[in-house]
Structure 1
Amino acid sequence: MRRLVMVFGIVWLMGTALILAQVAPDCANAVPICNNTPVNGGTNGFGIDDFNNEAKSGCLEKTLSGAIESNAAWYRFRTGASGQLGFDIGFDANEDWDFALYKASDCGSLGDPIRCNFFDNRDGNNYIGVGEDPQGAEDNVQYEAWLEVLPGEDYYLLVNNFSNVNSGFSIQFTGHIFVTNPYDALDCSIVSNLLGPPIAACDNENVVLDASTPNAISYSWYKDIGGGFAVIPGESGATLTVMEEAFYRVEVIVPSSNNIISDVQVGFSTAPSSFAVTDEYLCADMEFFDLTSKDPSVLGGQSSQEVRVSYHNSNADAEAGINPLPGQYGLVEGEHTIYVRTTSVLNPKCYDASQRFNIEVYQPLVPNFPLEVFLCEGELNAFIGESSPNPDYDYQWSSGENTSGITVSTGGQYKVVINDRMGRPVCDNTFVVQVYASKTPHIKEVVIEDLQAQNTVTVIPDREGDFEYSLDEGSFQSDNVFYEVLPGAHKLSMLDLNGCGTATESIVVVGYPKFFTPNGDGVNDSWHIIGLSSLEDPMVLVYDRYGKLLKQLSQNNLGWDGTYNGKSLPSDDYWFKLSYLDKDGQRTMAKYINNHFSLKR
């Protein structure tokens, strides 16, 4: 499992001014640090040789200075809880820094370091330390293993510059101990001077140093920006308003002659600014909006490496810097206010939470008009679009009209753009209406599979389309085939589902042999039609290929024996027509019957 790393310690690099400012070149004057103490510094040489001309201390060896130390800074800290502890020492990637950590209660008995790193910085890293590289470099050889500490343990930390060229460094404490004990992971009782621990301030706030002491006779204030402490003229009160980052010193004269001298380091970080951003009008079908796309506008030119942007659901959360919204913000219909916070990376106390913006989320427009319209044969025009316009929207058709609906007289595509009258874009606001010029349907053919007790009838339309079919005014069906149709007269209907009318056709279902053999053997000796009894007054006329009428049959005739005027006709193809009286008493010729058969001898 990856360790959760919490960063404590406020960092700022004070630039070249700190190169000349000796933070603590000697172990005996090691700077005490604790949870709320910002740690930064620059080094320029070392004081006394804390290793008494020894050649090595753990991994550290003599440098070009002739001693183990070359440009040294010493710190001390005491643990206030148990758990995992580490630290990151940040610096310019072009510089070479080393460190050694000693578990000791005083400088006279340091012993060997428990963590030590003397690797050169040929890889150009920005960090060395204990734990994990905050930039995620797993192969950074300048990192040592985490510490597992107990309460009350004392440590001394030596930070040493080997390259003799440095622009300062920072220290950030890390580790799970700050999750379990965010306020007492390190013991702050070791920082006990009058002016308190170093101060990390923002450049938009006032810093007042208070040295008030009972019975004090006088106060003198000093400032060191790298060349040594110098008196601040005219400042003789118990407090000092600080406007510039530097090391400050106060000397308090008291009657007992036990005068108090106290130093404090004050640093200022640039307070970030949050710039105004525009509102967003979005469609719910996007599902998510990338809040980080607003970062460049919020930053307004500030570096994203120096200023962190976060977004929150409430002003209280933005002010407190808690509960940041995920970058991929889930969209829910309605208006939502997003609160913006910009925070200094170097000093999280410096922030701006003055800006906010709205996200308005709309549901996609669902047209309440059909996107397919059929202009039927015989109709001059068709209406498309909304018959009842929405007063909140403007409409613009590709044909030039700006009404909610238009009348068209030809088929084709018609595009309409629907816009919010408030000037805000709505979701998918462009719709295409397809108008089809459709003919009235006709039945092209009816295929009858007859000569059986139960027959099959198939309706063939004159074109492709969306049709339903009905037999004898029964229920409509999507299948164009009817099964088990009884012999007799029937009515077929074909309905255009696009509203372009109905076609009807009357048919007769009967059966007849496709050939007969009038040779007197008693088998198939006559030709006749089966099912005539289902028709009213049926009449069958038989012709030769030249159209000569050979025989007239009724339902009472037994059939045709293949003779004409008593003479046998030769083997050949013959034709017939069938008529009957319809329900109105009109003689009607039966259609869709294959009226061709053969005589064989």
Structure 2
Amino acid sequence: MKISKKDILFLVFGLILGVSALAQGALCSDIEPFCAGDQQLTFPNSNYLNSNQTSGEPGIDYGCLEEQPFPAWFFLQVEDTGNLTFTISQYENEDGTGAPLDVDFIVWGPFERGEEYCSGSQLNAGSLVDCSYLPDAVETMEIPNAQANEVYVVMITNFQQLPGYINLRQVNSDGGSTDCSILDSDLGDEVSVCGEDSYLLDGTTDEAEIYEWYVFNDATQEYEIIPGEDGPTYLVTEDGDYRLVVRDLVGDSSDMDEVVVRFYDVPVIGEAENLSICAEGLEFVDLTRTEAELLTPVQNPVDYEAVYFESQEDLEEDNEITSPQNFEFEDGKVIYARIRHIESGCYSPAEEFELGTFVFPEISLPETSIFCTTLQGDLLSTVSLGEELGAGYAYEWRDGNTVLGTEAVIRFEDIPQSHEIVLSIFHEESGCEIEVSTMPVLISGPEIVNLDISGSDFGEGYTVSVSTEGGVGREFAQFEFRLDDGPWRDNPVFNEVPPGSHMIRVREVNGCGEASSESFFLVGYPRFFTPNADGYNDTWRLINNGSIEIKRLFVFDRYGKLLKQLNPVNGQGWDGTYNGQPMPADDYWFRVEFVDSKTGNHQEYMSNFTLIR
């Protein structure tokens, strides 16, 4: 892969370890700086395929190098005093494999910064430090007792003139060191500026003497110099691709770095509700369930992510929780959150929420749910089940495997098909879920109302017992009973029913329908009458519909004196007189002789009634 001279400098100055480059400076005037540090410099050698400089320049004392085929020139500056030991190797392949190739070298020095290195007056026997012309692929280069700030010139040659790769590295890390700031402008990686209007680029380099700032012009697709900007810093106020070129007049060396600067607004974070788990005893909670709430204010949530912190101290130190999906739960613990713009790394202000334990409100369905039907099994009316719990809940109603709805309250217009209706409720904040169920029960009103009448008004009174037949869901139905227009009651036995015409009504207590008995008549007598000629209760007579045969009927005063014998055939009644004279208000007695039509028995009954004036 071919790369530029700029890339070589980056490799030399420590931005990338174990790198390769094109053949180095073939002439001393093209000399390149070398910084060892913890690195090695690997580069293609100069050979007959890539260089026209087949031998060293004239006028220079090359020491032990009888020949100087295809030279490569370097200089290095000492940072820390001490011995410097380097290995120089040359192989066919970049990774040090393949055929070994004879490599030779020579070192001159020391020099001072600013001297003219490349003249015969400098590169002579008096300045020769080390030299090797051995027929080896690996050589050791020594610079003893190198002093800080001294400069040394190195030339490496390719004796066999074959294509290959040269590797140069310092091997005594405990000795002296070379100065990696010979030219080392580094503006950093891409710069994201968060919530600020400007950003100061600083390209200060120890040995640089000239600074040139450029900005990329999208229209011309070229970097253009920024007029008047010749210092080590530049204040950026708008997005752009910027370039800095620094030059060292000594050795005519230069370095270049480029950086992209982008300005971003500070993200706005949403408010998160407290995060709850559904039961005590759970050990872990997923903090990222709050992410959707936190990202609510941003326009493109996919460009952001939520990060979480366990404490205020962790927030200040940017020590985020590494596994927020599986965070150890602690009731009442406060969690701090920020949202981060993924591209820029810009953070929002912090938002906090609390961990807690969620308890469902009391909710249940009846063990059975009543569906009122007609006697034919058709639904009488809509049936509603469920209740609204408020915001933050999701619902699912199922009839067997069929999902019926997702509302809090479901309304049935048809009869369910299965024997169980299931409601699942999901609490969105905590992730808690409960399930309740009910059995649908079909009920109708009774089909038939039966009456059993016992007793009589000429004794302890009438008793009417009610029973029902038919209807849907009798095992679940509950009935109430009503005599005429009286109150509803759950007791089907009516005692002391007065004589006269009556009807019994039966209704299902859940509103699933009602039925009525046939009208029935009870024979008896009135307990009082008011012979005042107002048209109401003016005479006293037996109440009868022919179900008993009246033989004789007598009226007496309280002393047993016969006042009137009534004719039962024509339904004659007593008008409260005796021999045409009104009788006083008082209690009077009667005796009736009759035949029970049910049994045919002859019976006699005596009781009293009241005359009221």
Q: Same-fold call, TM > 0.5? A: no
> TM-score, with normalisation over the residues of structure 1?
0.31
- Which structure is higher in RCO with an 8 Å CA cutoff and minimum separation 6? 1
> TM-score, with normalisation over the residues of structure 2?
0.31
